[in-house]
Amino acid sequence: MMKTIRIQYFARLREDRGQSEEEWCTDCGSVRELYAQLQAVHGLSLAASSVRPAINGAYTPWETELNDRDEVVFIPPVAGG
């Protein structure tokens, strides 16, 4: 079943994607599958192991199932200064 997911990108992922947010139609079941799909299509440079996912404002495991209209944020490592 196709779902529409709102995705936000920050820092390096925003640079890779060329924009900070988008709506994405997908049949991916989990947030891990979604990230892999976005990596393949958009060339996201960070491995999933270095990114933390959040769905609807809460950090979530990579295996969490996606639902239609979820808001997903992929949070890259933060460099201190």
This prediction has a pTM of 0.92
pLDDT on residue 80: 53
Query: Does residue 58 register a pLDDT over 60?
Result: yes
Category of 32 on φ-ψ map: left (φ > 0), alpha (ψ -120 to 50) or beta: alpha
Burial class (CB in 10 A: 0-12, 13-18, 19+), 2: exposed
Residue 81 inside a domain? The answer is no
Residue 80 inside a domain? The answer is no
How many independent structural domains does the chain possess?
1
pLDDT on residue 78: 76
Burial 29-64 (b: 16+ CB within 10 A, else e): ebbbbbbeebbeebebebeeeebebbbeeeebebeb
* 65-71 mean pLDDT: 98
Query: Does residue 31 register a pLDDT over 60?
Result: yes
- Kindly state the tokens that stand for 31: 């947030």
Q: The domain that contains 54 carries what CATH number?
A: 3.10.20.30
Supply the mean pLDDT for the chain: 94
Residue 45 inside a domain? The answer is yes
Share of the chain above pLDDT 70, in %: 96
